[in-house]
Chain A
């Protein structure tokens, strides 16, 4: 079983819809959770960073962590065509060093105008 599972998509939704992107993981030691957005042929950019369980909101984006279920989500409200990209989740255990970041494979999101 892979450490981090993420549906590759593509996930296609109409403009203005609420988008839900998810990752599941198996390592209960993961404490730090990140979401990156990657446009085609570009490097990933950090969108959201959360520690342990709970929610974090930043504009149209909300990151949610449920450690009991080993499940993290990224919600995008009022989705825009410019949100079309691949979204990567990443996570790390407490005390993990520089080699400790584990990435999901990414979900390809398409927002239809």
Chain B
């Protein structure tokens, strides 16, 4: 089955700890994205990558970091510098950066205690 996987589904961390969220796709897509979704808020773009070894900040990149060492993988690290990290995190991919058709993963709900 082709698609996007995110793990884990639920994640709990203590305040002050860094945590890394996994995103893998086997769709052979060049572009990948990380969004954050909060109750009553739309999707907000954290980081995106149009090609391996390259990525750009989105609207709310502060307190987050990413890497794109492989085409299939785009992990997101939520650092201790992120002031309100508790949220639902969604990873997406598209054929390329100019495509509007983004395919989303199932999401990871991060709760910081």
Contact = CB atoms under 8 A, between A and B. Distances in A.
Interface of A: 4, 6, 8, 32, 34, 36, 41-46, 49, 88, 90, 92, 97-99, 101-106
B56 A99 contact: yes
Nearest to A42: B106
A8 B104 contact: no
A42 B102 CA distance: 15
A6 B109 CA distance: 24
Given A32-B100, A105-B41, A41 B90 contact: no
9 contacts: A34-B100, A34-B101, A45-B104, A46-B101, A90-B100, A98-B56, A98-B97, A101-B45, A106-B42
Interface of B: 4, 6, 31, 33, 40-43, 45, 48, 50, 56, 58-59, 88, 90, 92, 94, 97-98, 100-107, 109
B42 A104 contact: yes
Nearest to A33: B100
A41 B107 contact: yes
A45 B105 CA distance: 9
Contact of A98 (B33, B40, B59): B33
A99 B58 contact: yes
Contacts of B42: 4, 6, 88, 102-106
B100 A43 contact: no
Given A98-B33, A98-B48, A8 B107 contact: no
B36 to A, nearest CB: 11
Contacts of B4: 43
Nearest to A89: B42
Nearest to B97: A98
B45 to A, nearest CB: 6
